[in-house]
Structure 1
Amino acid sequence: MKTIHLAQTAGFCMGVALALKKLDQALAGKKAHQHIVTQGPIIHNPQVLKYYQAKGVFECQSLDELNARTVVVIRAHGIPLDMQHAIQATGATLVDATCPKVKKAQILIGKNSEQGRHLLLFGEKEHPEVKGLVSYAQNGFTVFESLQELETILPHIAQPCFLAAQTTQDREEFKTIQARLTNILGDIPVMDTICTATKERQQEAIAIARQVDFMIVVGGKNSGNTRRLAQVAAATHTPCCHVECREEIPVKDLVSCRTIGLTAGASTPQHVINDIVMYVRQLQA
């Protein structure tokens, strides 16, 4: 039987649990004439989305679908300000399930932008959270995904700047970026927008990966925080895979492994984690 080291931080974070609680409350309070939609996927996990689709909850595809009989639940990642205003203009009921950590980042970005500063945001350009965050930057923004990319951009920015990050970014890399910016620009405002849970998950994933023969990271392929868990685990040089379900586990790579580490992204349901743990334990050494 395999020995599995399961991360204590694996599974739903506070923001995801809160978003799903708000969606469940909306379903419980739904009136006969209402229908419920989400603005974007409520979280980045295919099993969860399938569960709510079975309950009749689908993503809004167009503002034309919305009216006074619609309840719109904002995704945990948040949405751009103009989208929020457009939804409100339809007369739909708005339920804001934005993660409190993301909401804090939005507010901090808005306040610093009011002081005439240009936002430098460390994040994934196409990620929905990032699109929401930059909508609060009233004096322009630049999104970069690495220190090297930022170095090429800086000479073209003339305004005073401030630094922030997507909430699920790597904190150590962010510190490196901050130090480099300080050398170039001097002291600039730096917003502490990386979620503490993200740091704790990454640290635990690294610690476990260093102790095992193989590392499994469970969660949606479109989940940024899950992808980064896989990246930091793989950086330890322990073989690692990122899977959404048991069918994706590379069984042949595990056959000779005695110890296996397992963690999961912040939007991964507990039943999916449990299923993979049971499956791996049954594999023959």
Structure 2
Amino acid sequence: MKVVRAKFAGACYGVQRALDLALRSVADGQGAHTLGPLIHNPQVVQKLADQGVTEISSIDEVSAGSSVVIRSHGVTPQVMRSVEATGSPVVDATCPHVSRAQRAAAQLAQQHGTVVVVGEAGHPEVEGLVACALERTDRVYAVTSADQLPADIQAPVGIVVQTTQQREALDSVVAALRGRGIEPEVRNTICFATSQRQGAAADLASEVDALVVIGGRNSSNTTRLADICKERCPRTYHIESVDEIDPAWFAGAETVGITAGASTPEDQIDAVQRRLEQL
């Protein structure tokens, strides 16, 4: 059985930067907390905890003398102000692409008064984008498809996008608004690394008999990769760790592909590849 890895797969710059900053924050022996998971990868989050970077769910849980690491998905402006008010050292590990999207959301709200965030409501990155816009207007809508747009939306409208969204979702929302006679100002804040990984995954899924997608089930970009692959390769399996692999999945398969979400480090991909090559 031939095992082929996607041309672009695994941890992106923003994730690696967040990991480096988090580990650097405990290098001097002091403790560090992350507000929520630093990245959406349970295995990595557990490794960080073993090295002194522990996850907390509330600012009230911050230990004296510990630093607070802002997760790669970013936080709302209100949360950031609350963290800074604790007096604890703050390590901002927000992905630079997410920070750019947050600035765009605030600018569009200031300029247009109505902002559409193309992204998954409830996702921490989207919550941050919405909150940045809400600081300047009360007309902010998070949608994942055109049919979620409010019926009474009026121009002028600004659009910002969750960094891990597919371009098709953005295009459908823009087309729907234009169909209503509204020409929105679009800030395409989809991360290039995300687009690369989605394109490479789609290409690979069209060429293999079965495919394994590696990454956290709580990771929206990994889940989206799995959806993209399953459309082209029905025998697509989303796993978080090598232990989940079932050899029966690959019965009769001559070629198996591997891809991984942007929160999946290289060692996890290598472990899966070695296991598949042993089958």
Relative to the length of structure 1, the TM-score reads 0.92
Kindly provide the CA deviation profile for residues 77-134 of structure 1, in whole angstroms up to 9, marking residues without a partner as x.
Answer: 0001100001111111111000000000001111111124211111111111111111
Map of 1:54 onto structure 2: 50
Map of 1:277 onto structure 2: 273
Map of 1:111 onto structure 2: 107
Map of 1:221 onto structure 2: 217
Relative to the length of structure 2, the TM-score reads 0.94
Shift of 1:4: 1.1
1:245 aligns with 2:245: no
C-alpha contact (below 8 Å) 1:163/1:189 kept by paired residues: yes
What letter is aligned with 1:146? S
What letter is aligned with 2:17? L
1:264 aligns with 2:268: no
Unpaired stretches in structure 2, ≥5 consecutive residues: none
1:23 aligns with 2:19: no
Map of 1:160 onto structure 2: 156
Map of 1:171 onto structure 2: 167
What does 1:95-174 correspond to in 2, within 5 Å? Answer: 95-137=91-133, 138-140=136-138, 141-150=140-149, 153=150, 155-158=151-154, 160-174=156-170
Which of 186, 189, 193 is residue 185 of structure 2 equivalent to?
189
Distance 1:172 1:249 in 2: 31
C-alpha contact (below 8 Å) 2:158/2:185 kept by paired residues: yes
RMSD: 1.5
Q: Which shifted more, 59-68 or 85-94?
A: 59-68
C-alpha contact (below 8 Å) 2:34/2:56 kept by paired residues: yes
- Identical amino acids, percent of aligned pairs: 38
C-alpha contact (below 8 Å) 2:74/2:124 kept by paired residues: yes
C-alpha contact (below 8 Å) 2:157/2:182 kept by paired residues: no
Give the 4+ runs in structure 1 shifted more than 3 A: none
C-alpha contact (below 8 Å) 2:41/2:219 kept by paired residues: yes
What letter is aligned with 1:110? A
* Structure 2 residue matching 1:19: 3-state secondary structure: helix
Distance 1:126 1:265 in 2: 20
Compared CA separation, residues 245 and 113, structure 1 to 2 (3 A): same
Unpaired stretches in structure 1, ≥5 consecutive residues: none
1:10 aligns with 2:9: yes
Compared CA separation, residues 123 and 11, structure 1 to 2 (3 A): same
Shift of 1:159: 6.0
Which of 68, 75, 78 is residue 71 of structure 2 equivalent to?
75
* Structure 1 residue matching 2:79: 3-state secondary structure: helix
